[in-house]
Structure 1
């Protein structure tokens, strides 16, 4: 069996309504506003749907400008007993359904949580473009027509063997505007020109393969001995010469030994072609990715 030791890889309040069962689908109306959390390294939006044992909380995290969000779903309806780790999603009537993997977990209050694997778009979903943004490739961020967010009316969720769920989100236009404003503030907080980044002629581009920046020797010895695994999202500030200036952990499953190993490896081995502004001048920028420690 192959082993991978260190793999780089404001809306209005809506009145609460009782859940509606349309055929085999559980339909949940909003039971809270969108709540936003401006953190140093991320922007988070969260909203509750349904009440009691039917309540589901939708959490969207964005770690940098662009269309990509990371999704977490919590609540008892998210309990999974089978070994299948795939979920099918569809944002509104205009977008196609698509599959994502997930990692199940449990909150302190005993409710289930599903953390979806990787990032996704919430409008105008395009697997090829989404994959390019997720990998922090050299393309510019792909713009999405705001009208697509406006036309969203629901989020459908289907896990094999479980009842389908529809979260009645309504338009996602205001939610996307909140996230976009928050990520501009993130850049300014990182010391980066947010306006210049809207018209880059080239994004930060890795020199060589990012997969070579971490290897088996970077797996913390105590964590390997204890067979601990981890997933670490990190951010590097990359200067005008393409050198990493600082490393920040954006999200991590911990323990801290994994975080320290990631930043040590990145600051030692990561190399880049610097970002270029609209006139072709090198500018300070950032690079985000994640490292999975797996036995």
Structure 2
């Protein structure tokens, strides 16, 4: 339970950040617990995160501002492990370095700055720029669907703890905290024809009709058992054979048969030759 001082301080900060939010940042406390804050960082232009919607939580201690919050980012980003406590100078990993003058806006601005850098710490991961751009394209879908699943099982022990979000909750927690943004995301997914289960665009009927048989062969699963890379390799073999005639598939047999016949005829002619005089 928050102390009266913490409640007063966080109430004041909520008013300030609502009135004048920092660039690319929005945040609010939970209606049930003023110590639990939810934020969304919008990926800044000219970064691999451009346009991404990154949702996370700040869990403040009861004696804030004399101790820092636990910081998590739930949305997969290619920068942080989802829903894992981050080790930053502004987080609960370093309580002695925290300055009571720092506010929520200061903490989130520092988090955004760290995110767009390449510095590594506990809870951060390495990924290519291309991978991070792909993550950015799927952030709205992930937030509003919980990753396309309605299961409630956590992925690993890193997601445990107060403020952690279980991936696969069907977007329930995000929807409860950000109903207006969730509605916008749902509308965006419909406009972009995003499959709610996969996060990928649904191909139109014309795109499906233009899929050639040879290309369709790449997606087949010969024998019903091949998956992944094996299915692609075997499917490619099916496609290649579909484009070859009998001559193409049996060229090696024809070649060896011709060579054997030539050797046999040569030996017969050699055996029937008249021997020369000595």
Q: TM-score, with normalisation over the residues of structure 1? A: 0.27
Higher helix fraction (1 or 2): 2
Q: Larger relative contact order (C-alpha < 8 A, sep ≥ 6)?
A: 1
Higher strand fraction (1 or 2): 1
